[in-house]
Structure 1
């Protein structure tokens, strides 16, 4: 019995002793090569930083409008009209209404940045309003008469900031809301004040069934017969924001996806390569009795300790960097800026990094553990085949200089490590090509606004301004356009009718042709797919209850309303609907901004320049593209640096021999630089065509209403710029390993051999 009771404490002491010995071994190994340890930590730090940023960006894209609706208690339906208290009470008591808010509203003309614009003044709701409470993003809420809160997209467009004066008051803050989409696409500009009065009121309601907006509108018309009611449906706000930002969200999605792949490859390269380089140490451990399982546990624990510290620092850095990209993204999406400190993404990033560290340590450790002990002790790596690698044979066939051949051979000492490094560099190249494609796409749309279904130079939201517009000396062509709903074979469709002179405003029609006479129409991709039609078919729609038959002669590029839009000459209809706006083209070499200001003054309303709208979107997306691209460049740089450092360590004996037979320090640097350049050139050869194909394929898959119709391809010169950039990255990554190789003491290394 005594012997039985003594056994467990002895076993426990043995386990504690083994753990202490393992901890001492791990500590000695990490501190024996501080440069390698620091590099491993830097790689994990970079991976964690990139992962936090990408997860934060993805979280901001999941459903930004839904997040904004939750943050602002957004209305499902709003009614605008001159309403009495009794009218308001009827609306608030309709079936399905679970919460409501009523506020006074008045439209006024105001001078903003030297321009006369229309603003919608609304009574400021309470901070805890049940419906439609604006979410403050800058400054503070108004607290006294004469203080104003301005909707953020209107403020950004007009250049307004807290402290500025507008509409007879001082701006104290900016806010986001879901009661309308981004200005100027939705106007007028929205301002909240504490002292708004007037006959018009806005009744906002939340419904038990958010999809019951049409039923609520019908019930409101029955409850208030004879009252002219205007409705704002949350579906329309959401669809406008989604359509407007689809391309931008696509760019962010592409870059974050590439970043996640590059992070995985980098962690695999750095940790896996270092473990394989420790075969001599693994051989020693096997020689003194360590089992393969114990060796794997030792190495996994060693790198998890490094990974945990580096990952925590990376989480802090990622949380600091993410807001710099989240703020412009939220401005694009007209939503509140999401927090980068959400615990779930941070915890997920930490778990993913540590899991990757464990996997990419265990797999090569198992492989190294299978090497025979005597082979591992001999050279620290498995025996070679004695044959030149395929890369070395190709370099010889190309008659490259001897230094370049040596560099290529060294870079491919480990094919798996070289493959992972090429993959990480390829993702960097793909990202650069995607960024160039984004620029080319914006350039294409700026040059041809018809690709945004806006084949005009200027639009004025005032139909009565047609005569003044036609009389302006800078205007070459002008007409009216109407937007309205029609009843199609399977429900409501969006329709536009272009007035006389429509031939001067040709839409972008990749399939078929532009309509040329009344009765002909063009439609977006979504309409053709929804109704199962083809170019040349006829479709009958009902306008104000009257059937109208249209012959579809073309498919136009349509970014809005999922492409379910039909456009035709206004003369097609027996009764032309009231125009919505005036559109015009300027004469060549016109100063469009100056001409637009002149038309604004004549018409008394804003003049929208499609080119300026696209330029604004490009300015918003550039920080996101640049930031995510720089992250991937940093990840690729760390990956290549790790590979070349491991190569110089493994090839120390070879470098010593080269120096002994007369290779100069410059020659040693050339060998290392040639190896990095070889990996970079292969990544370029793969990454440039892959980037072009990937960008086009993702745009086609995720933006079906526009697809590849708007995609721009970078020119040859722009693509060639990636070559010196990548070679500069490889040269930078080669500088440290090259200097390390130069410092290899030939006599000491050869004496040890």
Structure 2
């Protein structure tokens, strides 16, 4: 057995090397996808587990009996009902919406904030005001003189305010209390323990709160204009900031017996308190998706491509072993005749290919474990985080083992044919049965085409079953390469043209006292700003009261916002709106239906006239005009303005210029493009294309070997009728080229359709909606087809020349 395996590997060195490299590349892709899935999910899961996180957070009015929700059926435990107040926080000229929660010195057992910097609240914070020790900043550079670093590892360097001047006199005032900030809000404000945070309640009065700590939670993170950040204060500090009873609310976190029972729990809460007492609802799924961002999508994308590549490699291995078995039928018959059992022969072929698979799997796993943490960017960060998790103890072994079992199982099915070979082979007839020449061959000869092309075409497709199998096996990796090109093209289109993914505006401006006149004055001398659209947002409850959606008003009837419409049309009349795919799925409605949402107890009935591309809130967004919200009493004045810039403008430079011009009276930020989170995928997709190309090359090697062997007797006939060695070599090369051309055409055509279907399917399932898929450029597809054909011709030159140089004889071995 060992001698047989060594001899076979010597005869097929290149093909064995290709199979090992392809298997190693597949394992690298699968392990990287596992690392990205852990990178996307594990940080949030760690915080949720350690903090004993709540599955549902319910915001209620101040008059509601929120504590009664702890006794509902299915609720395992609950946090205490926090008194809450909405306010605006400002630090160094940066503003953010904050929800202050009145907390006790004793941290709660459910949804306990995990301290990352500083300390938690204590009783002394209620009686003693912090000393007036505002940290000094240089007016020129805004660098903190202490040179400290935040807990996230970034250098604490920021301008003292938007104009770069020294802190104002009020920053030297004594603090009215202490506050612990949620980590995402602290990052947005560049806040650290010791900073003096200025908070403004509904009456417009500024109150200073000393930041004493930063904590992590498993709730939704702070998002400008969408989700306020959380700050914990003692009850007396909350009373000083907000003294109006009608401006207060409550928040309670519920931990459920069944974490998937969130919708039913919310329904019971609405029944218990009444829908007019529920202000907003958020679930652990929303918080997890918000925390995972693009990492999970990238992991799923890599996992899908890795499994597909594994399937392609399995087909390539099955084709290779089937071809070798057909090439060794005489040897197998002789081995059986001298006493080898079918089981021994099956083990011989199975062990050889299992050893090749094991070598490839081991190389891929070792390369990933050793070099993965040293990769730049998010790839290395994901690997380092993954190696620190408990799941890393078994996942790097489970994935290669599963891949090896799949390859071995596929090989076993093909090797089983060895046991069915007869020990006394039946000789093929010396004179084959006369077959009628195919019509295509007769017409080609009539057109006086080169004989090499005609005979090569006939040799490539003379056996329908074998030809179809060869074309199908080679078409699978080419199909996957086309899908990868489609994903690459779609990501590039959405990254460089964000208006195609529902983000036509580049900047958002928020601040108190903004109106059309103020925005026009602010934009004087700014030719790079082509349009400014007023807008407002509100959290709304949907029918059934099982979740919170975003109700957004953008533009006006006379000046509509340039929404990205995939189906239907844009709203331009009163009570018309467009919705994201996630909202349509949530409400089980279609374009043309009427929906009813509730904002703070006020119902709003809207006519869905179109479906828009919505990358935010899982597509659970309904957009209308600001005039419609104003008519319903929801948004009497704009809450922000979206600025559309010229294509050649730099959003960061424009934002910096506007911030300096308005002197910190408003907050100017770039609107994030979620596609940019997937920037690391380009390098991985490039590596995946290389892996698939290796699989295609291995399959080509198998196809060429089968073609040379099947045409061995034809070479005698071709030489007998007068063809030169060069013409005979051209026949073999042309046959391989035609097979590659057929596989390339089939693979690219089907791959284009599959790519569009998969991307739109992902868009629908994620809530963004179908209509974002972009087909690969025609030039790229033609280049791929040409590269496959040229590569097949180049690879087949050496085997064809060897076959022609061999001494040809019509022996008994050639007729078995």
TM-score by length of 1: 0.73
SS in 1 for 2:43: helix
Aligned to 2:21: 46
- Deviation for aligned residue 1:268: 0.8
**Whole-angstrom distance in 2 between the partners of 1:663 and 1:110:** 88
Conservation of the 8 A alpha-carbon contact between 1:655 and 1:668? yes
**Whole-angstrom distance in 2 between the partners of 1:287 and 1:421:** 31
Conservation of the 8 A alpha-carbon contact between 1:539 and 1:549? yes
Aligned to 2:681: 621
Aligned to 2:255: none
**Whole-angstrom distance in 1 between the partners of 2:704 and 2:404:** 24
- Deviation for aligned residue 1:632: 0.5
**Whole-angstrom distance in 1 between the partners of 2:750 and 2:640:** 44
Aligned to 1:488: 542
- Deviation for aligned residue 1:737: 2.0
Distance 1:607 1:414, change over 3 A: farther
- Deviation for aligned residue 1:749: 7.9
**Whole-angstrom distance in 1 between the partners of 2:717 and 2:353:** 33
**Whole-angstrom distance in 2 between the partners of 1:589 and 1:200:** 41
Aligned to 1:30: 5
- Deviation for aligned residue 1:361: 4.7
- Deviation for aligned residue 1:419: 4.3
Aligned to 1:547: 603
User: Over aligned residues, Cα RMSD in angstroms?
Assistant: 5.0
Question: What is the CA deviation profile of residues 454-513 of structure 1, one whole-angstrom value per residue up to 9, with x for unaligned ones?
Answer: 222433455647345432431232133223312232332112222557735221223332
Instruction: Give the total of aligned pairs.
Output: 665
- Greater CA deviation, 102-111 or 231-240? 102-111
Alignment of 1:670 with 2:730, yes or no, is yes
Matches within 5 A, 1:258-277: 258-277=308-327
1:471 to 524, 528, 542: 524
Conservation of the 8 A alpha-carbon contact between 2:510 and 2:668? yes
Distance 1:366 1:442, change over 3 A: closer
SS in 2 for 1:90: coil
SS in 1 for 2:770: helix
Conservation of the 8 A alpha-carbon contact between 1:53 and 1:319? no
Alignment of 1:280 with 2:330, yes or no, is yes
SS in 2 for 1:299: helix
Gaps of 5+ in 1: 1-25, 122-143, 156-163, 170-177
Aligned to 1:96: 110
**Whole-angstrom distance in 1 between the partners of 2:430 and 2:21:** 34
Gaps of 5+ in 2: 58-83, 90-99, 120-132, 161-180, 198-209, 222-226, 243-247, 252-281
Distance 1:307 1:254, change over 3 A: closer
**Whole-angstrom distance in 2 between the partners of 1:570 and 1:38:** 70
Question: What is the CA deviation profile of residues 572-627 of structure 1, one whole-angstrom value per residue up to 9, with x for unaligned ones?
Answer: 232526755321224577676654443343245885556x9478456432112211
Distance 1:722 1:737, change over 3 A: same
Alignment of 1:56 with 2:31, yes or no, is yes
**Whole-angstrom distance in 2 between the partners of 1:386 and 1:338:** 64
Aligned to 1:459: 508
**Whole-angstrom distance in 1 between the partners of 2:422 and 2:601:** 86
- Deviation for aligned residue 1:270: 1.6
Question: What is the CA deviation profile of residues 401-455 of structure 1, one whole-angstrom value per residue up to 9, with x for unaligned ones?
Answer: 4323443454457766654543343223223322332344245435753433222
- Deviation for aligned residue 1:97: 4.7
Matches within 5 A, 1:147-186: 147-148=148-149, 166-167=157-158
SS in 1 for 2:680: helix
SS in 1 for 2:310: helix
Matches within 5 A, 1:371-386: 371-375=421-425, 386=433
SS in 2 for 1:503: coil
Alignment of 1:428 with 2:477, yes or no, is yes
**Whole-angstrom distance in 2 between the partners of 1:542 and 1:221:** 32
Conservation of the 8 A alpha-carbon contact between 2:103 and 2:235? no
Aligned to 2:798: 736
Question: What is the CA deviation profile of residues 521-555 of structure 1, one whole-angstrom value per residue up to 9, with x for unaligned ones?
Answer: 22212222322333343333333333333333322
SS in 2 for 1:709: coil
Question: What is the CA deviation profile of residues 155-176 of structure 1, one whole-angstrom value per residue up to 9, with x for unaligned ones?
Answer: 8xxxxxxxx894499xxxxxxx
Conservation of the 8 A alpha-carbon contact between 1:304 and 1:358? yes
Conservation of the 8 A alpha-carbon contact between 1:47 and 1:314? no
Question: What is the CA deviation profile of residues 299-338 of structure 1, one whole-angstrom value per residue up to 9, with x for unaligned ones?
Answer: 333444454445433443455676688954587x999466
**Whole-angstrom distance in 2 between the partners of 1:496 and 1:468:** 25
Conservation of the 8 A alpha-carbon contact between 1:481 and 1:498? yes
Conservation of the 8 A alpha-carbon contact between 1:509 and 1:554? yes
Aligned to 1:533: 589
**Whole-angstrom distance in 1 between the partners of 2:635 and 2:287:** 27
**Whole-angstrom distance in 2 between the partners of 1:335 and 1:306:** 29
Alignment of 1:294 with 2:344, yes or no, is yes
Conservation of the 8 A alpha-carbon contact between 1:327 and 1:337? no
**Whole-angstrom distance in 2 between the partners of 1:449 and 1:334:** 30
Distance 1:188 1:513, change over 3 A: farther
Matches within 5 A, 1:498-509: 498-500=554-556, 503-509=559-565
SS in 2 for 1:481: strand
**Whole-angstrom distance in 2 between the partners of 1:179 and 1:386:** 83
SS in 1 for 2:530: strand
**Whole-angstrom distance in 2 between the partners of 1:306 and 1:442:** 36
The structure with the largest helix share of the pair is 1
Aligned to 2:641: 582
**Whole-angstrom distance in 2 between the partners of 1:510 and 1:752:** 63
Distance 1:496 1:293, change over 3 A: same
Distance 1:639 1:546, change over 3 A: same
- Greater CA deviation, 472-481 or 228-237? 228-237
